[in-house]
Structure formats: C-alpha cells, structure tokens
Amino acid sequence: MAKKGKKGRKAREVVDISKRYEFDEGVKLALESSYARFDESVDLAIRLGVDPRRADQMVRGTVVLPNGTGKSVRVLAFAKGEKEKEARDAGADYAGGDDFIDKIKGGWLEYDKTVATPDMMGDVGKIGKILGPRGLMPNAKLRTVTFDLDKVVKDIKAGKIDFRVEKSGIVHAPVGRVSFGADRILENITTFMDSIVRMKPAASKGTYIRSIGISTTMGPGIKIDPASVKVLLT
C-alpha cells in the first residue's frame, strides 16, 4: 500500500472523521485542508434514499451554478443555417453538421459538451455509439436538444452542470474551485442542493438525503450533516 505524503497526512489530521459538520464549517475546512499546487476542484457526493433501478425514483437533471465550475467548457453544436450562426454567436466553440459528424467518426473528441437542434438528431444518432458511452450525446431530458441554442450554449458556458444518481444511489457534482473562496462555493452548493431537494421523487419513501460529503481533488473527505440542508436553504 502506498504511503500518504506528509501534506496529505497533515490535511487529514485537521478533519474529525467522526463528526458531521455544518455546510459553512465543512466548506471552510475543505479549503483549509487543500494542499495541492494546482487549483483543486471542490466536489459534493450525496447519497439519496432512492432506488435508481426504478424509473419513478430516478433523480436526473441540470442546474446552472451562479459562479460556474471554474472549468472552461468546449461546446460543440450540431446545427445548420441560421441555427449554426446562433450557436456560434452564443459562444459555441464549434458548430456545424456533417463535417463535424465525419470528424467524430474519425476519432475527433476535442469538446466537452454537445448540443443539437431536433432536426439534426437523425444524423447525430449515427455517432451515438461514440458519443453515448462518453456521456456526450445530446439529450432532450437534459435540454441539450433544442432550437433555443442561444440559451443552452450560454447556460453551459456560464456553469451549467448535468447530474444523475448512480446505481449506488449517489449523486456527484463539482461545485467550484479552491480559488473561489468559501462564499462563492456556498452559493453554488445552495443552488445545487435546492435543485436536488426539489427533484425528490414522489415514490421515494423515508429519508431522502441520507449523507453528504465534500472534498477537494486531493484533500480528505468531510462529512456534512444532512440536517444542515434546511438551514442552508432557509
């Protein structure tokens, strides 16, 4: 087993693993225990009281974080004519139709998100086996299949994230960077948790939010008291 470095051990020493912290305290602790030389990502992990195998208990959606994620996102828009121009004007890094579909068939993957107008989905479907496994396929449920390319591209560039509960019942989400500071990260967390609470399935019984953890890329995991969600959203 690999030994933890001195900085990693020191960071873990300031965290009480038996304690569940309030959100504000937990965020500050996560930032204080960050030690990498790069600007670490700050991430949430939320265990929900749902059964993802049942369609009526699936938790999946999108949310625009007020302060973004701190990551530059390259957007590819599948569109033609005026909609192609609309996507480019909105900030899409790439926009077009068959030319990009052919590039993707050839192995091109220099983009992070894709959007498409509904009339393009027949052609985009031809590369579904390439995009799908990578989570890059435009999806109407995630509002990335739309004629309103101006809004969806701007939202993605502004910090829109997709989230989905995994088979284990956990939702993972990036909520910023260490450089954001506690206040901006808490604003992002508030927006994200509000969305999670609003999406509680009617079929979900018992405790909905069972546990919450926050961590930086290299830092220790910090437990958050689920009861503090109500305080956060008040």
Output the domain CATH number for residue 210: 3.30.190.20
pLDDT on residue 1: 39
Are residues 165 and 56 part of one domain?
A: yes
Residues 61 and 37 in one domain: yes
pLDDT of residue 35: 84
Beta bridge partners of 126: none
Residue 115 sits in the same domain as residue 189? no
Same domain, 21 and 45: yes
Residue 16 above 90 pLDDT? no
Residue 10, in any domain of the structure: no
Average pLDDT over residues 176-191: 96
Average per-residue pLDDT in the chain?
92
- Domain termination residue (choose one: 110, 129, 157): 157
Q: What is the DSSP letter of 49?
A: S
Burial class for 41, CB neighbours closer than 10 Å (0-12, 13-18, 19+) = middle
Do residues 92 and 118 both lie within one domain? yes
What distance in Å separates the CA atoms of residue 30 and residue 80, rounded to the nearest whole number?
A: 45
| E strand map for the chain | 41-48, 60-64, 75-78, 94-96, 113-116, 160-164, 170-177, 209-216, 222-224
Q: The pTM is what?
A: 0.82
Within-domain flag for 6: no
Q: Which domain holds residue 95?
A: 75-157
Collect all residues with Cβ–Cβ distance below 8 Å to 82 and sequence separation of at least 6: none
Q: Is a pLDDT exceeding 90 seen at residue 8?
A: no
Q: What pLDDT is attached to residue 187?
A: 97
Q: Of 127, 157, 187, which residue sits at a domain end?
A: 157
Q: Which of 202, 180, 210 is nearest to 57 (CA)?
A: 202
First vs last Cα of the chain: how many Å apart? Answer: 45
Is 82 contained in some domain?
yes
Which pLDDT tens digit goes with each residue over 86-133? 999 999 999 999 999 999 999 999 999 999 999 999 999 999 999 999
The pLDDT of residue 11 is 60
Hunting for tokens 């965290």 — which residue is that? Answer: 15
User: What's the domain count of the chain?
Assistant: 2
4: in domain: no
Give yes or no: residues 142 and 213 share one domain: no
What is the per-residue pLDDT for 18?
Answer: 86
d(CA 136, CA 100): 14
Q: Report the CATH number at residue 89.
A: 3.40.50.790
Confidence of residue 3 (pLDDT cuts 50, 70, 90): very low
> Looking at residues 154-164, what average pLDDT do you find?
92
Q: Is residue 86 part of a domain?
A: yes
Spatial distance between the Cα atoms of 119 and 124, rounded to a whole number of angstroms: 10
Q: Do 81 and 138 lie in a common domain?
A: yes
Distance of CA 22 to the CA centre of its chain: 22
In terms of Cβ atoms closer than 10 Å to its own Cβ (0-12, 13-18, 19+), residue 176 is buried
Mean pLDDT of 1-22: 69
Same domain, 53 and 165: yes
Stretch 153-178: mean pLDDT:
94
